[in-house]
Amino acid sequence: MAKKRKAKRRGKASNGVLSRLFGERDNLRRVGLPLGVLLLVLSSLTVAVMGASRLDDYVTLQVRDRAGPANLAFSDLPDGLRSLALAELTASVDDVLDHDWTDDRMCRDIASRIATVGWVDRVDYVRRRGDAVFEVHADYRMPFALVGESDQFYLVDRDGVRLPGAYDRSPQWPVISGVAVQAPEPGARWSGEDLQAGLRILDLLHAEPFDDEVREVVVQNFDGRMDARRTHIELITDQPGGSVHWGSAPGWEIEENTVAAKLAILRENHRRTGRLDAGHAVIDIAVYPDRYTIPG
């Protein structure tokens, strides 16, 4: 009899534990149903993520294979620079273009390489298209004049930055000759007040209707360094032996005509005769504010 009562108490204790852990049937239902739904949702999400990842890999491979090798498009490159700069711009990134074009570092690497080319003032951004073409958007340095150094000529922009390459003399650009400082590396600013004076005069003439009559600005005697009695700056015209004695560099005048007075004389000559030199071989515009003289 004692054993039976003992077994009965164990049964009650066991039922009490189950009851405390899970409660009644409706409690089990309330806990079990949301838990099952949660597990189902988590399983579905896992499958979806795995599927999306595989789909993304598949699409990437398809796009990569269909697009072919990477290429460049210089959207902002002026037409006047294509024959001069395009080959060097492209060559600067040849090894980068051999990489996988879907690599996220490609735009950054192309931009950093392009920025080192002397034709480029600033790279704004590089954009990757879905056809494996990288669009380069940049500001470029435009040729403004040739600077003569011995038998070599180098292009510079308006600010005096040397552009890549060495060139033959060409009527396409005016020449500044007689500069004292040797040419810097491409992309560097050419130092020297004589060069800056020549660029300033060409910039002033650029707005005039007779600017194409000036073929060369000679700064060899800048500030009278060769001969204080001679004109400091000379303009060589497009007629044989033609010359305009300009005088001192702009802003360096002491007892001579201002820049405004010199330009006014040239404008009046051109208005009356159709030429800045009034048809003479050599004229001087540095002395009298209302007229030119012919050196004796």
Tally the C-alpha atoms within 13 A of residue 235's C-alpha that lie toward its C-beta.
31
> Of 1 and 36, which is predicted with more confidence?
36
- Long-range CB pairs of 159-163 (<8 Å, 24+ gap) are 159/189, 159/199, 160/189, 160/190, 160/195, 160/196, 160/199, 161/118, 161/187, 161/188, 161/189, 161/190, 162/118, 162/186, 162/187, 162/188, 162/189, 162/190, 163/84, 163/118, 163/119
Taking the domains of the chain in order of start, what are their residue ranges? 18-67, 71-140, 145-284
Task: Choose the weakest-confidence range: 2-16, 91-105, 273-287.
Answer: 2-16
Mean pLDDT value of segment 222-236:
97
Tens digits of residue pLDDT in 208-221: 999 999 999 999 99
Tens digits of residue pLDDT in 165-191: 999 999 999 999 999 999 999 999 999
Q: Which CATH architecture has domain 145-284?
A: 3-Layer(aba) Sandwich (3.40)
Mean pLDDT value of segment 16-33:
51
pLDDT at 33 over 70: no
